[in-house]
Amino acid sequence: MKIVPTKIPEVLQIKPQVFNDERGFFFESYNQQKFCQTLGIKPNFVQDNHSYSRSHVLRGLHYQVKQPQGKLVRVISGKIFDVALDIRKSSPNFGQWVGCYISASNKEQVWIPAGFAHGFLVLSQTAEVIYKTTTFYAPQYERTILWNDQDLRIEWPIASTPILSAKDQAGQTFRTAEVFL
């Protein structure tokens, strides 16, 4: 596994070692021992999530104010632009975001630790995204920051308005959002 640092040191792009031959390919999408040795962290994953979305769907920016979730994100079909936003007030990167292109073809993953809001935009006709989380989903603690907040200036690779859920349309601005101390 190869780790590619992002501009926010805690958010990591992970490139697995892929074994290709005439039959297809094989790679370890998760190995706790290698993950811990390579990254120096040992998350306790408790839940796997799987989403299917069509082109131009944008999900996020989601986070939980209690039971914050670390996430290991990968794409098994299609391509997305994945965004992590640092919402830890005590962080030197507070209010900064990082975006990564991940896809079924590049087989890369993104590690997003707890304390970040997360969202993604589907760039292919459809995409299936799976991610492991370090805590259980708690809808009563979930919050959403607007995807197009002018203070954040996230450079989503889309020319038109994306397809959003009602929850994502009603998100808070970064300035008014409940964030972590």
- Look at residue 19 and tell me if it is in a domain: no
Q: What is the pLDDT of residue 181?
A: 57
Residue 99, in any domain of the structure: yes
Q: What is the pLDDT of residues 4-18, one digit of tens each?
A: 889 999 999 999 899
State the CATH number of the domain containing residue 163: 2.60.120.10
Q: How confident is the model at residue 42 (pLDDT cuts 50, 70, 90)?
A: confident
Question: What does the alpha-carbon distance between residue 64 and residue 135 come to, in Å, rounded to a whole number?
Answer: 10
Q: Convert the pLDDT of each residue in 124-160 to its tens digit.
A: 999 999 999 999 999 999 999 999 999 999 999 999 9
- pTM of the complete model: 0.94
In a domain, 76, yes or no: yes
**Active-site residue, 131 included:** yes
Mean pLDDT over residues 68-78, rounded? 97
What is the domain range of residue 154?
Answer: 43-169
What is the rounded average pLDDT for all residues in the chain?
Answer: 94
Question: Which of 139, 82, 160, 148 is CA-nearest to residue 116?
Answer: 82
The pair of three-digit structure tokens given for residue 53, joined into one six-digit string: 């979305």
List 30, 63, 131, 137, catalytic entry: 131
Quick one: pLDDT band at residue 119, thresholds 50, 70, 90? very high
Residue 176 lies in a domain: no
Residue 67 lies in a domain: yes
Lookup: tokens for 60:
């996020």
- Mean pLDDT of the 33-38 span: 81
The verdict on residue 162 lying in a domain is yes
- Residue 62 located in a structural domain: yes
| Number of independent structural domains in the chain | 1
The tokens describing 100, both together, are 């990564």
User: Does the structure show a pLDDT above 90 at 36?
Assistant: no
Mean pLDDT of 29-39: 82
Task: Considering only residues 40 and 112, tell me which one the structure prediction assigns the higher pLDDT.
Answer: 112
From 30, 52, 62, 141, active-site residue: 62
Give the pLDDT of residue 41. 76
The answer to whether 62 is a known catalytic residue is yes
Residue 32 has pLDDT above 90, yes or no: no
